[in-house]
Amino acid sequence: MSTYLTPFTPLPSLFDGPAAADDHSSLLAFLMNDDLAAAPDVFPYYGGAEAAPAFFGHAAAPLPPPAAAPPAEMTGQGRKRGFVPAGDDGSSRPPAVRRKVQGSPPTSPAHSGGDAAPAARSGGRRVWVRERSTEWWDRLSGPACPDAEFRQAFRMSRATFDALCDELSAAVAKEDTALRAAIPVHQRVAVCLWRLATGEPLREVSRRFGLGISTCHNIVLQVCAALTAVLLPKAVRWPLESPAARFQALSGFPGVVGSVYTDHIPIGPPKDNVAEYYNRRLTERNNKASYSVAVQAVVDADGAFTDVCIGLPGSLSDAAVLERSALHARCETGMLGDDQCRLVGGASYPLTDWMLVPYAHQNLTWAQHAFNERIAAARAAAQGAFQRLKGRWRCLQRRTEPKLPDLHNMIGACCVLHNFCERSGEELDADFQSELSQQDDADVVAAANPVLSAAADKERDRIAHDLLHGGHPSVTFL
C-alpha cells in the first residue's frame, strides 16, 4: 500500500524584503500593536495609509463594509427559503408552486366589500403557497347550482344548510391573519358535511375544495366538535310534550313515549382495551376480526332522537349497554314521569316496569302474537331512524380510524345533523337508505330477555289480552 504525498512548497516569509535586518524590531512592533505605518517597507501588504485595515493602524481609514445579504424568509416549518427578487413574479416557476403576493389576496366572503385584506397593508410580503383548484366548490356554492344537486351532495337543501351555518357561525368562524384570509364558515361546514356524507378519503376532499389535506382534517374535527358542543343539547332532547298519542296511533300501545334501539359503528382496532371492542357478530358476518362502538338511542314517533348514548365498547350486549347508560339511571328514578309511560325495545332488552319487550319463547298464543306485532310496529320508527342516519352519513358504515374522543364527536355530530334534517322536513332519497343487519331472534337466549319484575310480566299479559280483544285494526294472525 502506497501513499501519495503532495510536495511541500515553503511559504514566503513575511519579512522578505530590503529591511529584513530589522525583522526583530518589526515583529516586536507588530506584537505590541504599534503604528505600522512607520515601517511601510517592512510590511508591504500592511503598511501605508491606503491598504491598512482599521484594526492594524490607528491612522488608516476603515474598509467599506460588505454588501448586506438579503434576509431569508422563514417557512411554517422553520426552514429558510431563498430570497426572490422583487421583479420576479413567479411566472417562470412551475404552476404547482408559485409565489403569492399578499397585497392581492384571493377574494372571499370575509373580504367582499369594505376595507382591503390585512395582508395588503403588510408591505407586499410574499409567501409560498400551492395553487389549488376550487372549481367544484365554486360551482356548488354558486346561485346557478340546482337545489337537487346541492341536496344530493350535502344531504340537505340550501335553506337548511344556511340555517345550520348560522347556528355554527360563532363557534367555527376564524379571523383573517397577516398571511392569508380565513376560510369562510360556509366552506368549513361544507367540508365537514361532505366528509360525513360520503366517507371519502381526505385526499379527495382536499382536491374537491381546493384545501390542504391537514386543513380538511382539522376542519372536520373542529366542526364536529362544534356540532356536539353547541347543537347536541338543543337538537337531541327529551320532548316537552308527551308523544304517547303518536305512538298509540302507530302501534296501539297506550303510554309509549319512545322506542329504544342499539346499533354498532365499525372501527379499527384501538390501541387500548382491544378485547372490549371486539364484536363477535360483526366478526362472524365479515369472516375477519371486527371491532365497534355501540350507539344506543331513544327515538320518537317522528324518527328523531330524544336520547343518545355513544361510545360504549362493542363487545357489550344490548342489555349491558342499556344498564351502563344514563337512560337506565333516569328511568329507574322515575324520569318518565307517569307510571303509565313506557319505552319499547327488542328481545335483547330486559322486561322492566318502564320497558316493554316482545315475547321471546316459542309457541306463542294469539294474544302474545298480537303483542309482538304491535311491538314490531312501534320499533319500526327506531329502525327507520337508524337506516336514515347511516344512509345520510355514510361515514358510519365504513370502518373509521380516528381516536376514540374524535370518533364520539363524529357520531354525535351525525346524530345532531339527523335531527336537524328530520325536523326541517328533509327527505332522503331511496338510493341512500341503509340496510340494517337485523338480529336473529333465534340467537336470543332466555338470559338475554329476563323478566326483572313480576308486576311487569303481568302488565304485559294484560296489554296483550286487551290488544287481542280490543280489535286493533292492524292486528293480524297467521
pLDDT of residue 64: 56
pLDDT tens across 92-148, in order? 544 444 444 444 444 444 343 444 444 444 455 565 667 788 899 999 999 999 999
Say which residue, 401 or 7, is predicted with more confidence.
Answer: 401
- Per-residue pLDDT band at 286 (split at 50, 70, 90): confident
pLDDT of residue 463: 87
Is-above-0.75 flag for pTM? Answer: no
pLDDT of residue 53: 44
pLDDT of residue 455: 85
pLDDT of residue 54: 42
- Per-residue pLDDT band at 75 (split at 50, 70, 90): very low
pLDDT of residue 15: 46
pLDDT of residue 247: 86
pLDDT tens across 386-437, in order? 999 999 999 999 887 768 889 999 999 999 999 999 999 998 887 777 665 5
Percent of the chain with pLDDT over 70: 66
pLDDT tens across 32-69, in order? 544 444 444 444 444 444 444 444 344 444 545 555 55
pLDDT of residue 467: 80
- Answer yes or no: is pLDDT of 227 > 60: yes
C-alpha cell at 434: 341503509
Q: Which amino acid is at 437?
A: S
- Per-residue pLDDT band at 255 (split at 50, 70, 90): confident
- Answer yes or no: is pLDDT of 21 > 50: no
- Answer yes or no: is pLDDT of 326 > 90: yes
Say which residue, 64 or 250, is predicted with more confidence.
Answer: 250
pLDDT of residue 66: 54
pLDDT tens across 447-462, in order? 446 677 788 888 888 8
Percent of the chain with pLDDT over 90: 44
- Answer yes or no: is pLDDT of 164 > 90: yes
pLDDT of residue 329: 92
